[in-house]
Structure 1
Amino acid sequence: MLIACCLLLCVDVFPTGSSLSDQVDQNPADMYKKPGEKAQVNCSHNIPSYNTILWYRQQLPGEGMKQIVFTIPDYEPGFNEEKFPVTKPDAVSGTLTVKDLVAEDKALYFCLSAPQ
């Protein structure tokens, strides 16, 4: 019997009343992983003067967003670099990895692109 942890990853710009969200690319939109595996989601955008990428998690429908990391290495309480490593190779892209998946990691993950 296969036991899997469902990890839905969703990456988007927070609503701003404009169409900037269509300038953000997510890869992949969702994924399913087994416990113990890792999940990796990439975020990129083409919004001029936006050079910051922030990561958020929403675990339950209707629950508020919880910020994972503001800037490397400034992680929010409850999150750490070993479990949620983030890379940002340039101003327009970044990657969030969630390591050693457990059932509690099932959530929606969002990236936010913003000016610095």
Structure 2
Amino acid sequence: MNLENAQVQMRKGILEYCILHIISRGEVYASTMLEELTAAKIMVVEGTLYPLLTRLKNSGLLDYKWVESSSGPPRKYYILTESGRQFLSQLQTTWEELQFSVNEIVAKESKGE
């Protein structure tokens, strides 16, 4: 099994949750999301982020607004919809349960079998 592939798949599994969480803090520009995700070592490229943002918008979980920029074209800032907030709340519960379950398994000592 390829370790790098397993690591990528684990990160992809929580990407949607992380993106919604970042947006939940307030209006956010896509490049700011990329910077935060990269700093947290959740490797994402624009080619992954933008289709995911479009899918989340089409699902009614987020919306966006255009804001004029003094240094170029208008920028698209993303915001959560009420449905997005509810969905994020449910993901938060799932994350906490999953985190607890994984920690339970990982914390058990090997029986030397």
Normalising by structure 1, what TM-score? 0.30
Greater share of residues in helix? 2
Greater share of residues in strand? 1
Which fold has the larger relative contact order, with Cα–Cα distance below 8 Å and residues 6 or more apart in sequence? Answer: 1
